[in-house]
């Protein structure tokens, strides 16, 4: 389980530069139930990279390759690729970006999630849809 804390009250000027493999997201709220309501497992997987991403699966020998089978050409399927670039999720990303009002990047995502509950909910919906697809592909044994 996650035992690290990524506090969301960053100092002014702090920039999220990328996703790290071993970062957990913990939402701090006065009440545990409130924290549980505003986050979900899919967001944690997306932001931490601990999901059904082929890079993560390969890391633990659950997949032979980390290549995105949608993109091919040696493109690694990790959280950053899925969130920002993979055409497999263009529809979902477009919905998210419509709410954000700008392109999603690893630099603006968390800042905008914190500032706007609509963005938070859009990221949650994106994460749920993406993880559902990736989990299905993992169960089928090939990411097609
Ligand atoms: Zn891809």
Q: How much is the pLDDT for 24?
A: 46
- Cα–chain center distance at 68: 16
Residue 111 Cα, ligand 1 centroid: separation in angstroms?
25
Q: Give the pLDDT score at 41.
A: 76
pLDDT of res. 86: 95
Q: What is the pLDDT of residue 117?
A: 86
Rounded CA gap, 122 and 107, in Å?
17
Residue 59's pLDDT is 84
Distance CA 9, CA 103 (A): 23
Look up residue 129 and give its two tokens: 């849809």
Centroid of ligand 1 to alpha carbon of 65 (angstroms) = 13
Residue 130 alpha carbon to ligand 1 centre in Å: 12
Per-residue pLDDT of the chain (144 residues; tens, 9 = 90+): 343 444 455 556 655 555 454 444 545 555 555 555 556 778 878 887 887 888 888 888 888 888 998 999 999 999 889 999 999 999 999 999 999 999 998 888 888 888 888 988 898 889 888 888 888 888 887 544
Query: Ligand 1 centre from 131 Cα, in Å?
Result: 14
CA 93 to ligand 1 centroid distance, Å: 13
CA 88 to ligand 1 centroid distance, Å: 6
């Amino acid at each position: 389980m996650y035992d690290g804390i990524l506090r969301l009250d960053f100092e002014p000027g702090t920039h999220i530069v990328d996703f790290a493999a071993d970062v957990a997201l913990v939402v701090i709220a006065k009440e545990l139930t409130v924290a549980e309501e505003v986050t979900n497992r899919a967001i944690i997987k997306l932001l931490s990279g601990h999901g059904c991403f082929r890079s993560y699966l390969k890391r633990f020998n659950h997949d032979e390759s980390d290549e995105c089978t949608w993109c091919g050409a040696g493109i690694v399927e990790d959280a950053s690729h899925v969130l920002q670039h993979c055409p497999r999720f263009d529809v979902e990303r477009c919905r998210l970006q419509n709410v954000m009002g700008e392109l999603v990047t690893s630099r603006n995502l968390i800042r905008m999630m914190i500032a706007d509950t609509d963005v938070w909910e859009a990221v949650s919906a994106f994460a749920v849809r993406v993880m559902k697809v990736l989990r299905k592909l993992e169960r089928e044994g090939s990411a097609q």
